[in-house]
Structures are given as C-alpha cells and as structure tokens.
Amino acid sequence: MKISVLGATGPSGQQTVLEALERGYSVVALVRNPEKLTVKDDKLQVCKVDILKEEDLVPHIKGSDAVVSCIGGRASLFGWTPCSLYTDSMKSIVGAMRKSGVNRLIAMTSWGTKATEGEPFMMKWMLRPLFIGNLLNNMGEMEDYLSKDCQDINFTVVRPPGLTNQPSTGKTVRAENGRQFLDGSATQISRRDVAKYMLDIIQETSVYNACVAVGVDKN
C-alpha cells in the first residue's frame, strides 16, 4: 500500500505517517516545511510542495493507492479570522488527483461542521462562537464541494471530536454516516485512533462518497 499524506507535519498528520509506517506502507509526505517532519524511515519520502498548487502535487501523488489529508487551520479568538484553507487546498488536491489518476481520498474535518440540534454543549456554546467557528464553516464548505462537485472521487470525510495527543486507546472507533456527532461517545479521541480508522477504511467501499462522524465509547 502506498499513500500520500498532506498536513504530515501537523500532530494528526504525524500520527497518520507513523501508523502507516508501522503497517509497512510506503508513505509520501507532502509538506511545506520538510524540516518539521523528524520521522525517518526507508519507506518514507518527504517532498516539499505548495499545497495550493496542484501542479506541485501531481508528480508526488501519482501511483498512490490513496491520498490522506490531515490539513488543519488555526483557531482564532471569537472565530473571526476568515478561513479558506480547507476549500482552497481541497480544490488543489482534487485537481491533482484527477490529473494523476488517483481517486481514493480521505480527509479530516471535525464534529459540528454544520450546526445541528442536540450538538454537545461545549461545541454549541464555546468552541463554535468563541474559537473555531471560522474553521468549522470552511470545513463545511469543503464537505459541500466534495459532495456536489467531486462524485468522480471516492472520498470519505472523517469527522472526529476533540483531538488529543494521547496514545491509542485500543478501543473500536465507532462511525456513523451523515452524522455531525455521536450520541454516547466521548467528546475527545486520540489522534492515533483517528489515524488508525482512516487507514482501516482505505478500501472500505461502504464509506465512499460519505461524511462520517467518528468517536469512541465513554467507558
């Protein structure tokens, strides 16, 4: 298995790279700052690219079994800073995939990309209005772009709750198609558990062209 990982220098991207290497996969890490990725492995290739330029991505994505995007934006106080990173980067990624003949895509967003009834208190009253509203809005716009304009791409959007840097819990990751959050799930999940799930579903056709909320049981 060969995968291309975008956002590989971020905390979620690094866990995805490490998990893939543990599985014996060949990994192409597409990054803006290669020096930030300190992982060394014979099966890891680190390439400096501009993620917003599809022509930069094409030669490195070509030949991959899947593209995994762990690209993440920065939160801002009151969530006022405009964000277009998710849509801008995804349009570049999809364009590069089409040109390189790769059609399996997995991308991370978050619980709550669209406000829904019954969402967790912390998301509704604190995180959305005070910190990450701008990120959630653009994540939602990216999801809409994939759903409306990318039916030729076998995409899965993975929506996790709050992410931690704790080791994998070893718990089974629950996933439900079309949901913004999961009832009965912990409001946090380790990045490694999300990485495991994303790699597990690379060949899982039941989640093609879908946005799935993921989580682990509270107890």
User: May I ask the CATH class of domain 2-215?
Assistant: alpha beta
Nearest-angstrom CA–CA distance, 120 and 20: 32
Tell me the two tokens of residue 150.
């990318």
Evaluate whether 86 touches 71 at the Cβ level (below 8 Å): yes
Claim: this prediction has a pTM higher than 0.75 = yes
DSSP, residue by residue, 160-180: -SEEE-SPP--PPPEEEET-S
The predicted pLDDT at position 180 comes to 92
Which secondary structure element, helix H or strand E, spans residue 157, and what is its range? Answer: strand 154-159
Confidence of residue 171 (pLDDT cuts 50, 70, 90): very high
pLDDT tens-digit series, residues 112-151: 998 777 777 666 656 665 567 788 889 999 999 999 999 9
List the chain domain ranges: 2-215
